[in-house]
Chain A
Amino acid sequence: MVDFNITTVLMPEVVIASMSMILLAIGLLVPYGSRKSMMPLTAFTLIGVLSYTLYDFFYGPKATFLDGMYMHDQFAVYFKLLFLAAALLVVLSSGDYVQKLAEHRYKFYSLLLSATLGMMLMAGAGELITMYVGLELMTISFYILVAYLANDARSSEAGIKYLVLGGASSAILLYGISLIYGLTGSTELFVIASKLGGNLTPASFLATVFLLAGLGFKISLVPFHLWAPDIYEGAPTPVTAFLAIASKAAAFAVLIRVYLLTMNSQAFSITGETLLIVLAVSTMILGNLIAIPQTNIKRLLAYSSIAQAGYLMVGIIAGSLAGIKGVLFYAMIYVFANMGAFAVATHVAERQDSDQIKDFAGLWRRSPVAAVVMTASLLSLAGIPPLAGFAGKFYLFTAVMDQGFIAIAIIGFVMSMVSVYYYLSVVKVMFLAEGEGLPDIPVHGAMKFTMVFTMLITLVIGLYPTPLAQMAFAAAESLFK
């Protein structure tokens, strides 16, 4: 057993949790006018934690502790990196947006951090109740964040919808967990795996389906996806970004662990694969098809992110080391690609008070940086080289084809080319339309940094994916040990 100190291992979680509290306290104590430093404070905290986590990923001790309840392997750390990066980018891009909110804005960052904390717990959870607690921490924070524009009926409506559906899906997830507990007597993944592995009973299958449905809800897998577009549309744009990127990734982290340990058993394999293939294919197709007629950028990105979930599922279907590596790789670049797009959407939403695609008209002229970043991000999502999305898809589909599934790869690639259609429609509006009468909206400061940074990362990873691929490989490998 590697000798380690539990506090050093849990340092990121602890810091994030305390910072969340501190921000709340500051919000309560410091007078309204001088709360501008909250964004930098959060950002620097996140940068610090991120750096530490990065160090931890490569050099820190790895262990499973609390009898397998909590895992500190490279897989978990990889996802923590992802959440922290996403949170950081959201924070950086949300500065002006949040500034315009009313006096509640200090809670925004606090809630953001608590959601991040929830995700980090999910990534490390080796046990279903821990996972559930993390999940709920994240979800409840999101309920509030989604409805954060208290005076905006749409935002409140989104919050309510998310609450109802999220609650119901949690209940179903929990019911599944309870069945599993009933069948195995444990909520720890390793124990479950050893006890459940043998044969497939209707009860165990019901439990699995419930579990899958609960997690599928979070990753907006068709047919559990219906909430996503509405919530994404109603939520404040930075929240949408965080929701689309991080919460989905967190659910994937859990799904991978659960799937690999429990569902990937011999008895389950054919049935489970069939099920997952059907779901993944319909997710890819439906997400991309419905995205085509969208006129609202957030809704468009919502459907696009549904489709992206379908691509990610492909890696899980492969179930191999390469497949998981593909998922990890793709999840990370997905952060940057989506973040770029959402940053631009946030910027436009903040300046023009509109989420309509037609209001992006002439963005090329009015804000060249934003237009270029948006284009690069969308094309990365579509998987056009030399952007990172291509490398990601390549890893994913190579893995699944290696397992012999050719048709799913064809469907995936064809659908991703179909997706180019609606991504390019946005590009067309930005570059072709003149945008008469719309204001010039140059980007500055942290927002500009976010945009350019995400674009550069997208480009650099696309051109030279090796470092990230190695990290993803290490993380995936730690899962298979």
Chain B
Amino acid sequence: MFKEMHDLFQWAWLIPALPFLSFLLIAFVTKRSKGLSSTVSILAILSSLGMAIAIAYSVIRAGAEIVEHPAIVTVNWLNIGGLTIDFGTIIDPLSAMMLFVVTLVASMVQIYSLGYMHGDKGWSRYYAYQSLFASAMLGMVLATNLLQLFIFWELVGLCSYLLIGFWYFKVSAREAAKKAFMTTRVGDFGLLLGMLFLYSKFGTLDFVALSAAMSTSLQDIAVVGTAGYITVMAFLVFMGPVGKSGQFPLHVWLPDAMEGPTPVSALIHAATMVVAGVYLVARMYFLFDFASPEALQFIAGLGAFTAIFAASIAVVQNDIKRILAYSTLSQLGYMMFALGVGSFSGSMFHLMTHAFFKALMFLGAGSVILALHHKQNIWDMGGLWKKMPITGWTFFIGILAISGMPPFAGFFSKDEILANALQNGHPIIYAVGLFTAFLTAFYMCRLFFVVFMGPEKPENHPHESPWSMTIPLIILAFFSVVGGWVALPGHYNFAFFVHYGELHHVAIDWFLAGISVIAGLLGIGLAYAIYVKNVISAESIVARFPGVYKLLKNGYYVDDLYLWIIHHIMGGMGKILYWFDINIVDGIVNGIALTTRGSGKLLRRTSTGQVQMYAMVFFFAVVVIFMVFAFGEGQLSALNPLATLGGVK
């Protein structure tokens, strides 16, 4: 059995290869034919989905065997003296889970796009990018070493850039794309550095080898130098996830990234790419584990801060997609601090469930936006419940899931994380997480109530979206419900497959779960009170705390700070250096040239045309030469260096 399974794993490279093939096909062959392009793309991703399911099935069948010994296939990619890099695929439960999530959401999104992107001029281009993204994302998931991961990591960044700026004629989209790329680049700088230091210390970038090298060398502390060195590397590597997964302070790009088409937001900026950072930390968990404890604490703290920070901003946003974006940030913070507090499987679990319900909500939001002809302000919406039943119901499921209501997916994952936080001795983090859960429930319900429950707007003529859009919604809604059940207590549950270190079977702590649910219910209730029953006036709260409102509304002015830095510090620096370059560096060059020419002009005047002057110069030169050389013995020795002028005879 294991033999045939490995045969299957041998072919895992096809999962990213098929979408890539589709990208090439669309780019070079079918780009003129819209129908063909989308067909090719969707077929490719569906095949990948099929393979991912098959692999997931095999992994589950293999059980403990694969948990202990991941199936790794590699081929040489780069081999020069002193540097050997392999490319390959790693199949373990973690990657199998990611493969499934990514291919599922990607296929749903691509099918959904058939409706959403209908009539767009860049149809083929869109599907090409989608395929490329899927390919890169899957390649990243399958990476066996840090460099391979980094390469695909950057490629998904590129796809994100291209897709955010898909409607390149919109200035906002263009700027958002640029911002996304640049911000993540800052993180990637750290990641690259960390990678280089790791390589120069351990001589390998392979995850398995690195992990082994680290655990052996840690016993011999002299080899490593100090644990501090590893900690520095851990921090550097972590910079990558900070950028990619939108952790504070590099979160600024994600809300702006909503300028892309909504399915893109669903796929890339909610379900898959943004969790790459979390995935990376999980893959490199051994590094953070071996580093001094501050590293993990830092991750936990930063994640928790991001969670509450983003949630607080989400409370006052009015753009439907921006609310979802801040919510994504907040949930990413959740996953991150889960890793920080040692809830490895909880984090991965949340990653999976979040992918389902967040993709669902984004697609739902897209459905709404399309129905309202690209209106995005929630206050322009209202009363859509009746007009768009499928969208409404599925969206509602998403809301319940994210609010952590049992038995929806989010309940299980969120609960596991919070419980782990408390159990592993992080009460503050737990409190922050709990409060964030409350805020999450509040602003998500605010969104839901305003959009679907509020009064109908007469200028809107919404109608339900076509089947191509609703079917993905239904499928995702299904997973948002059942996705959490895989973690139900039992031997072969989620944590059995995806865990780090010793396996601990933890039963659900119903007391803590109850508290979380209450927090969620409180949030829902508060939103209901404000936005449906109007018991409490939102305006009056705003009026009482205008400063806070403004602060939140502007995202704590982080963006403005960055803009200021870019414009004034970097731009100013550039201007100063340019001035320096033109006037000093080039000025010296031009100055030399000018002096040369000027002295030529000046010396030219020595030739006066007066023949007697020439004769005098002639004769006096003779006399001077004679004087200096024949009688001036002292001067002669002074002139001697001139004779050899640096060259030693």
* Direct A–B touching, Cβ under 8 Å: yes
Let me know if A293 is at the binding interface, CB within 8 A.
yes
A407 with B636: CB separation less than 8 A = no
Separation of A401 and B644 alpha carbons in the complex (Å): 10
Given contacts A172-B622, A223-B617, contact A230 B607 (CB under 8 A): yes
Let me know if A25 is at the binding interface, CB within 8 A.
no
Let me know if B631 is at the binding interface, CB within 8 A.
yes
Let me know if B458 is at the binding interface, CB within 8 A.
no
Mask for A264-295, Cβ within 8 A of B = 1, else 0?
Answer: 00000011011101100000001001111110
CB distance from B283 to the nearest CB of A (A): 57
Let me know if A205 is at the binding interface, CB within 8 A.
yes
Residues of B within 8 A of A401 (CB): 647
A213 with B611: CB separation less than 8 A = no
A160 with B647: CB separation less than 8 A = no
A317 closest partner in B (C-beta): B643
A163 closest partner in B (C-beta): B611
Residues of B within 8 A of A277 (CB): 642-643, 645
Let me know if B223 is at the binding interface, CB within 8 A.
no
Residues of B within 8 A of A181 (CB): none
Interface residues of B in 585-607 (CB under 8 A from A): 596-597, 599-601, 603-604, 606-607
B626 closest partner in A (C-beta): A209
A289 with B629: CB separation less than 8 A = no
Interface residues of B in 563-613 (CB under 8 A from A): 596-597, 599-601, 603-604, 606-607, 609, 611, 613
Let me know if A237 is at the binding interface, CB within 8 A.
no
Chain A interface size band reads 35 or more
Residues of B within 8 A of A168 (CB): 615, 618-619
A274 with B640: CB separation less than 8 A = yes
B647 with A164: CB separation less than 8 A = no
A406 with B615: CB separation less than 8 A = no
A165 with B611: CB separation less than 8 A = yes
Separation of A168 and B614 alpha carbons in the complex (Å): 11
Residues of A within 8 A of B601 (CB): 292-293
CB distance from A232 to the nearest CB of B (A): 11
Let me know if B209 is at the binding interface, CB within 8 A.
no
Pick the contact of A165 from B607, B615, B642 — CB < 8 Å?
B615
Residues of A within 8 A of B645 (CB): 277, 405-408, 411
Residues of A within 8 A of B600 (CB): 289-293
A289 with B618: CB separation less than 8 A = no
Mask for B232-275, Cβ within 8 A of A = 1, else 0?
Answer: 00000000000000000000000000000000000000000000
Number of A-B contacts (CB under 8 A): 111
Separation of A227 and B612 alpha carbons in the complex (Å): 11
Separation of A165 and B612 alpha carbons in the complex (Å): 8
B631 with A202: CB separation less than 8 A = yes
Separation of A331 and B630 alpha carbons in the complex (Å): 31
Pick the contact of B649 from A217, A278, A293, A405 — CB < 8 Å?
A405
B647 with A224: CB separation less than 8 A = no
Separation of A405 and B648 alpha carbons in the complex (Å): 7
Secondary structure of the B contact surface, majority rule: helix
B615 with A407: CB separation less than 8 A = no
Let me know if A134 is at the binding interface, CB within 8 A.
no
Separation of A352 and B441 alpha carbons in the complex (Å): 94
Separation of A107 and B600 alpha carbons in the complex (Å): 39
Given contacts A172-B619, A271-B636, contact A407 B630 (CB under 8 A): no
Mask for B346-366, Cβ within 8 A of A = 1, else 0?
Answer: 000000000000000000000
B607 with A164: CB separation less than 8 A = no
Let me know if B29 is at the binding interface, CB within 8 A.
no
Separation of A31 and B68 alpha carbons in the complex (Å): 117
Residues of A within 8 A of B515 (CB): none
A422 closest partner in B (C-beta): B600
Separation of A209 and B621 alpha carbons in the complex (Å): 10
B639 with A274: CB separation less than 8 A = yes
Let me know if B625 is at the binding interface, CB within 8 A.
yes
Let me know if B646 is at the binding interface, CB within 8 A.
yes
Mask for A283-319, Cβ within 8 A of B = 1, else 0?
Answer: 0001001111110000000000000000000000000
A294 closest partner in B (C-beta): B604
CB distance from B604 to the nearest CB of A (A): 5
B607 with A229: CB separation less than 8 A = yes
A210 with B622: CB separation less than 8 A = yes
Pick the contact of A278 from B597, B606, B613, B642 — CB < 8 Å?
B642
Pick the contact of B629 from A213, A274, A418 — CB < 8 Å?
A274
Mask for A217-231, Cβ within 8 A of B = 1, else 0?
Answer: 100000110110110
Residues of A within 8 A of B639 (CB): 274, 278
Pick the contact of B597 from A209, A213, A293, A409 — CB < 8 Å?
A293
B613 closest partner in A (C-beta): A226
A276 closest partner in B (C-beta): B643
Let me know if A206 is at the binding interface, CB within 8 A.
yes
Given contacts A165-B611, A407-B645, contact A217 B618 (CB under 8 A): yes
Separation of A229 and B643 alpha carbons in the complex (Å): 29
B611 with A164: CB separation less than 8 A = yes
CB distance from B645 to the nearest CB of A (A): 3
Residues of A within 8 A of B597 (CB): 292-293
B617 with A274: CB separation less than 8 A = no
Let me know if A51 is at the binding interface, CB within 8 A.
no
Let me know if A403 is at the binding interface, CB within 8 A.
yes
Interface residues of A in 386-438 (CB under 8 A from B): 401, 403-409, 411, 418, 421
Mask for A142-183, Cβ within 8 A of B = 1, else 0?
Answer: 000000000000000000110011001100100000000000
Residues of B within 8 A of A165 (CB): 611, 614-615, 618
B649 with A403: CB separation less than 8 A = yes
B618 with A274: CB separation less than 8 A = no
Separation of A293 and B600 alpha carbons in the complex (Å): 6
Given contacts A210-B622, A223-B621, A275-B625, contact A290 B643 (CB under 8 A): no
Pick the contact of A418 from B596, B618, B642, B648 — CB < 8 Å?
B596
A293 with B604: CB separation less than 8 A = yes
B607 with A226: CB separation less than 8 A = yes
Given contacts A209-B626, A405-B649, contact A273 B611 (CB under 8 A): no
Pick the contact of A213 from B609, B622, B636, B647 — CB < 8 Å?
B622
B636 closest partner in A (C-beta): A271
With most chain A CB atoms within 10 A of its CB, the pick from B622, B642, B646 is: B622
Residues of B within 8 A of A404 (CB): 644, 647-649
CB distance from B648 to the nearest CB of A (A): 6
Separation of A165 and B618 alpha carbons in the complex (Å): 9
B593 closest partner in A (C-beta): A421
B629 with A271: CB separation less than 8 A = yes
B646 with A209: CB separation less than 8 A = no
A290 with B647: CB separation less than 8 A = no
Residues of B within 8 A of A210 (CB): 622
A407 with B647: CB separation less than 8 A = yes
Pick the contact of A205 from B603, B615, B630, B646 — CB < 8 Å?
B630
B607 with A405: CB separation less than 8 A = no
B609 closest partner in A (C-beta): A230
Separation of A168 and B607 alpha carbons in the complex (Å): 18
A406 closest partner in B (C-beta): B647
Pick the contact of A161 from B599, B604, B611 — CB < 8 Å?
B611
Mask for A181-216, Cβ within 8 A of B = 1, else 0?
Answer: 000000000000000000000100110011001000
B617 with A226: CB separation less than 8 A = yes
Given contacts A160-B611, A293-B597, contact A209 B625 (CB under 8 A): yes
B626 with A205: CB separation less than 8 A = yes
B622 with A209: CB separation less than 8 A = yes
CB distance from A409 to the nearest CB of B (A): 8
Question: Which A residues contact B (CB, under 8 angstroms)?
Answer: 160-161, 164-165, 168-169, 172, 202, 205-206, 209-210, 213, 217, 223-224, 226-227, 229-230, 270-271, 273-275, 277-278, 286, 289-294, 401, 403-409, 411, 418, 421
A-B contact pairs, 7 of them (CB 8 A): A202-B630, A213-B618, A275-B625, A286-B603, A289-B603, A292-B600, A418-B596
Given contacts A273-B643, A292-B601, 7 further A-B contacts (CB under 8 A): A205-B626, A227-B611, A270-B640, A270-B643, A289-B596, A289-B603, A407-B646
Closest 8 CB pairs of A and B: A407-B645, A406-B647, A404-B649, A292-B600, A223-B621, A289-B600, A407-B646, A226-B614
